[in-house]
Every structure is written in structure tokens, then in C-alpha cells.
Amino acid sequence: MKLARYTLNGQTSIGVVRGDRVIELARILPGAPATIRAVLAAGPELLRQIE
């Protein structure tokens, strides 16, 4: 799994890279942390939920 930080219309978000697309993390998992660092710090359980 790859995470990406991106800016769209002036708003910075993080997403999950799937193929040639980036899917906003908040759509996959509402309430997910807002930064990649926080996602990684949350540990393996959150990473499993994202996958």
C-alpha cells in the first residue's frame, strides 16, 4: 500500500494509491487521521483497515 499527500483545489489531503488513481483516505475510512505521519503512528490495525 502506498499513501500520498496531494493538494486539490487548495485543500491538502492524503490518499491511498491504487493503480494509477489516488483515493482520498477520508472516503475509505471516515475519521481517519489527517496526516501520513498520524496514520503510520496509529499502527498496523489502522493500516489493515485502510487496505
| CA dist 14 → 5, 40 (Å) | 4, 12
Q: What is the DSSP string of 14-25?
A: EEEEETTEEEEH
Q: Is the pTM of this model over 0.75?
A: yes
Q: Which domain holds residue 39?
A: 2-50
Q: Where are the alpha helices (DSSP H) in 1-51?
A: 25-28, 36-42, 44-50
Buried b (16+ CB within 10 A) or exposed e, 23-34: eebeeeeeebbe
pLDDT digits (tens, 9 = 90+) for 1-43: 899 999 999 999 999 999 999 999 999 999 999 999 999 999 9
Residue 51 has pLDDT above 90, yes or no: no
For the chain, the domain total comes to: 1
